[in-house]
Structure 1
Amino acid sequence: MKKSRITIPIITVAILVACQNRKAENKLTNDEKDAAHFELIEKSGYSILEIREPFIGSGIVERFVLYPRGTEQPKEQNVTHYIETPVERIGLTSTTHIAYLSVLNKRSEIKAMVNTDLIYDQRLREMTEKKEVKSLGNQSINQEILIQSELDVLFDYTVDLSAYKKIEQLRSLGQAIIPIAEYMEHDPIAKMNWVKAFAAFFSPTDEIRAKVYVDSVESNYQKYVVLANERPNKPTVMLGYPWQGNWFVSGGKSFQAKYFEDANVEYVWRHTDQTASVALSTETVLKDALDADYWLNPGVMQTKSQLIDNDPRFKNFNAFKQNSVYTNYKRSNSNGANDYWESAVVRPDRVLLDLVTIFSTERPHLDSLYYYKPLGE
């Protein structure tokens, strides 16, 4: 199966850069509807990246002034960090960050990362093996290695106040940290739009490249939405697998629920108001989803036998009986790295195409699936 690619014409990028080499004061570079948690404000000769509410209920707004290396530092109010661009030495704490930088062809700028064993990207794995990318640790960041890495920026994320305080502690060491909040977005396209925020740390050419990329992927995505709506039926779909006594499903306002809406299927828990996960009992799921046509993302399970070995009641699900259980672990390795949780953030079009294929009224062309595969026996 050939890997799907998106190409960006270099001539197009060059023309757009030439046309936009003078930034308009206070011009917003992203649409509110596309990304709720960041905003790029262009000034004369520099830009400001605002990141809003980096974790649920925080109400925090951080402001980063990005200005060309070697020029005079601008004067702004309430600035978290002043950062010279383009940045040359980068640290990461999430595999999704890899995807954004890969779109921009900036892997070589990655010098350190947390949880390097969970990297799926082959080139970056080779870089870690050659010690070109340092490991910052796993559960917590090794401060000594962080300081030794001499990073221009560390792209981080935070899920609560406790984690945010750890970011502030690292900042006290002099490390510039950007709390990437893509996981807070409730729409797959909005998540992808964060590539524009990453591009702002590099050159105007990279910013245009990001915009062209987003426009291309979004165009593909909308084509697949139209394709999904041509299907006459509307199957039902359940999600997830129990973990530590709870069965976590995506809330009805989450990005996963948005995928199902755009794939023209009825998600069993679409009426819940949560944007994050909802914890249910297995008994509740057995009742709610017994007749669902499809079952997606059953944890790390690879076969139906594994499912019923863990709980024989699972064989009563209609989706199980109809051999309609699909896992998003098609692109994974023995270390537990899963490309769905890495590159899919910038390929919502490919995820949606997988879903449209799975839910097709005709026999699915399973060989064409990219992130998904049917569960084995």
Structure 2
Amino acid sequence: MDLKSGNFTYNFKQNQIPFKKIILLNASMAGYISELGAENLIVGISSPEYIYSEKIQNMIREGKIQNVGSDQKYDVEKIISLKPDAIFTNHIASFDNTYELLKNNGIQVVFLDEYMEQQPLDKTAYIKLFGELLAKEKEADTKFQEIEKNYNELKQLALTAKEKPVVLANEMYGDIWYLPGGNTSVAHYIADANASYILKDNKDEKALTMGFEEVYAKSGGVQYWVNAGNHASKSEMLKMNGFYGKLDVFNKGKIYTISGKERQKANDFFESGAVRADLILKDYIKIFHPELLPNYQLTYMKELQ
């Protein structure tokens, strides 16, 4: 079986798959495993405090899943002693020595670049890859088709809206506003929810760095501000950055954070949200066109008061 993810290509032989014991080094990957109902294949996880899934947390408490360190330092001895068939992770160049050591111990290290996918459903499609590697093809195909169908129906629903509001995204870190490029997943979600993102004509797949004045100049007429970090309130936001008070949208519009499903350090937006593109789109449609989804409660987003 051939597998391609970003810069990585693999060829697994029949006798190598399906994997029966896996270790996850990223919370986002837990989202795919949970959607497949394959939690029982996980023997180890890094930085478990970032995992939102109640089921996985219970398995950690029961000792069925071990904590194998964090991206500051992985517990290599523990990983080797767990004898996993495979480890799933995003590639971090500074860990190349660790990866080599694991490979030399007969462990398959699978690097995935799912976070680089900018089309929402392309990110969801990684569930099919996990399906093939874990002998859950049928479940994965069913799940993908269901999410894809929901997504496309929601996209059609959004087109029936009367208004097309103007939207601002992300927030400042220090002096810099990291504004998602016009070809990023955030921009695609906003477009699919039938709203107008202030950088919609931009072609970048990464965030652009801007100073406050630049963003201010582009933010006239903005009615909604989304993905505004995970602040607790508008006043707390203003304490962190007084400039925000100059924005019309701060004073007259609506602001949403991605903290609708948080538990301590864990945020389900980065876990199940990696797969459930349909629910993320549904949230944005509910925000921009509440009349289209009168009975729906937001899943991952939360309005700031």
TM-score norm. by structure 2 comes to 0.93
Aligned residues: 304
- Residue 297 of structure 1: aligned partner: 227
User: Which one has more relative contact order, counting CA pairs under 8 Å at least 6 apart?
Assistant: 2
Say whether the 8 Å CA contact 1:290–1:316 is kept in structure 2: no
Q: 1:360 to 1:52 in 2, by over 3 A?
A: closer
Offset at residue 289 of structure 1 (A):
2.1
CA contact (8 A) 2:222 2:253 kept: no
Aligned pair partner of 1:370 in 274, 285, 299: 299
The answer as to whether partners of 1:366 and 1:373 remain within 8 angstroms in 2 is no
The CA distance in 2 between the partners of 1:183 and 1:111, in whole Å, is 23
Q: Which is further off, 280-289 or 184-193?
A: 280-289
Deviation at 1:364, TM superposition (A): 7.4
1:67 aligned onto 2:14: yes
Matched, 1:282 2:215: no
Assess, with a 3 A threshold, how the Cα gap between structure 1 residues 252 and 52 changes in structure 2: closer, same or farther: same
1:176 to 1:246, Cα distance in 2 relative to 1, 3 A = same
Question: Greater share of helix residues, 1 or 2?
Answer: 2
The one-character-per-residue Cα deviations of 1:166-199 (angstroms, maximum 9, x if unpaired) are: 5344323432111111112111100000011101
Q: Deviations over 1:70-92 (max 9, x none)?
A: xxxxxxxxxxxxx2x33221100
Aligned partner (choices 241, 246, 259) of residue 311 of structure 1: 241
Alignment check: 8 A CA contact 1:66 1:201 kept: no
The one of 94, 102, 113 equivalent to 1:181 is: 113
The Cα shift of 1:140 comes to: 2.7
What is the TM-score with the length of structure 1 in the denominator?
0.76
Secondary structure of the corresponding residue to residue 313 of structure 1: helix
Q: Which residue is equivalent to 2:182?
A: 252
Aligned CA distance change for structure 1 residues 301 and 366 (closer, same or farther; 3 Å) = farther
Q: Which runs of 4+ in 1 moved over 6 A?
A: none
- Gaps spanning 5+ residues in structure 2: where? none
CA-atom RMSD, angstroms? 2.0
Match of 2:284 among 339, 345, 355: 355
Q: Aligned-pair distance for 1:200?
A: 0.9
Contact 2:157 2:292 in 1 (8 A): no
Secondary structure at the residue paired with 2:263? coil
Instruction: Answer whether contact 1:66 1:200 (CA < 8 A) is retained.
Output: no
Relative to 1, partners in 2 of residues 1:264 and 1:363: Cα closer, same or farther, differing over 3 Å? Answer: closer
Q: Map Cα deviations across residues 137-189 of structure 1 (whole Å, 9 max, x no partner).
A: 12232211111111110011125x44556534432343211111111211110
Name which of structure 1's ranges 258-267 and 358-367 shifts more when overlaid on structure 2: 358-367
Letter in 2 for 1:236: V
Among all aligned residue pairs of Structure 1 and Structure 2, give the percentage whose two residues are the same amino acid: 25
Q: Where does 1:1-377 land on structure 2 (aligned, <5 Å)?
A: 48-54=1-7, 61-68=8-15, 83=16, 85-138=17-70, 139-158=72-91, 161-163=93-95, 166-203=98-135, 206-334=136-264, 336-360=265-289, 362=291, 365=294, 368-376=297-305
Which whole-Å CA distance do the structure 2 matches of 1:152 and 1:120 have between them?
A: 24
Q: For residues 256-302 of structure 1, give each alpha carbon's deviation from its aligned partner in whole angstroms, at most 9, with x where no partner exists.
A: 11111111111112222221222222232222224311101111212
Over alpha carbons, which structure has the higher Rg?
A: 1
